[in-house]
Amino acid sequence: MKTTRTLRQRITFIVTGALLPLVILGTVAPMVFGTRFMGGLIAPDCGGETTPPMPYEDVSFPSTEFPGHATSGYFIPANGSNGATVIVLPTGSAGRGDRMAEIAVYHDAGINVLSYSSRACVGNVGSTLGYKEAKQVGDALAYLMTQRDVDASRIAIHGFSAGGAAAIMAAAQFSVIKAVVAEGGYHDFAVEVDQNANNVLWFAPFFRLGARLSYRLTTGDDLSVLSPVSLIGQIAPRPILLIYGTNEPSLPGARLELVAARSNATLWEVPGATHGSYIYTAPDEYKQRVTAFITAALKK
């Protein structure tokens, strides 16, 4: 017997058939965007290296994360150094010699510098955006403790962007670090993911899910580990210099870090600077501020 559909049933069938692909697309597409957003940040990609223009020593030290592998670095001794040393972290997946302009500021101030390759270069892995990079600092500290030219009681750390976040997380973990210069880092990466998710309107939860799953599956850790603002208070009373541009999206997060860090932290908001352009936007003031900060922090 032939079944005749009513007009309402036909309309329902057509509408359902048209809407189902849209619903699937609206669910899957934001998850893909979230996955690609995170994947682009943590994909394995060693950034090479920059040779210092000043005298340096080729060095290496064992990696605790990757047994049998060594982290390559440059130890850049300062003329007339009194043992004060700054570890300048690689940014993301960069190789040794990253942030050479900033390294030169410390060198000119009579401070030794250790620059080394990221864990991405050592183990052919992706960046964790600061979490495991902070643990890699422990290897660098172990190396510095064996060097005659280094005063183990006068070591500071400097990082930019994800390296700035790693610098804060490392200082919270290793009390031997006496001062921190952190530039342009995030205060809580999960919050930043949520802010990016808002760009995909009502499908934001799927963007967040894609980003979180990508980070978990790639690094083995939850995105919640990327929260310098929750750790920065543990650094006190050691001094912290936060450097951000007034045209930088993460500046509000820096202000939250300043509050969380209490009186031992200072925030310099560089007028007109964008992400990473601080030393180029205000070169003279940058050199003066950073030199004064690190000299005072590492004085005998």
What span, in angstroms and rounded, lies between the C-alpha atoms of 183 and 167? 9
Instruction: Considering only residues 218 and 181, tell me which one the structure prediction assigns the higher pLDDT.
Output: 181
pLDDT at 24: 43
What span, in angstroms and rounded, lies between the C-alpha atoms of 193 and 286? 30
What span, in angstroms and rounded, lies between the C-alpha atoms of 72 and 140? 10
Say which DSSP state 90 is in.
P
What span, in angstroms and rounded, lies between the C-alpha atoms of 283 and 174? 31
Q: Map out the domains of the chain as residue ranges.
A: 1-41+194-224, 56-188+226-297
Q: Which of 33-42, 204-213, 287-296 has the highest mean pLDDT?
A: 287-296
What pTM was computed for the model?
Answer: 0.87
CATH architecture of 56-188+226-297: 3-Layer(aba) Sandwich (3.40)
Letter for the amino acid at 101?
A
The neighbouring-strand residues paired with 240 are 180, 265
Res 30 pLDDT > 60? no
* C-alpha pair distances (Å), 16 with each of 48, 207, 242, 295: 53, 25, 54, 69
**pLDDT tens per residue across span 188-200:** 998 888 776 665 5
Give me the residue label for tokens 């000119």: 108
* C-alpha pair distances (Å), 64 with each of 70, 106, 112, 165, 222: 9, 28, 24, 21, 21
Instruction: Considering only residues 294 and 24, tell me which one the structure prediction assigns the higher pLDDT.
Output: 294
Reported residue count of the chain is 300
**pLDDT tens per residue across span 76-125:** 999 877 899 999 999 989 999 999 999 999 999 999 999 999 999 999 88
pLDDT band at 45 (very low <50, low <70, confident <90, very high): confident
Lowest mean pLDDT among 22-31, 174-183, 248-257, 269-278: 22-31
Task: Determine the average pLDDT of the residues in 23-44.
Answer: 56
Residue 99: which H helix or E strand, with range? none
What span, in angstroms and rounded, lies between the C-alpha atoms of 99 and 115? 9
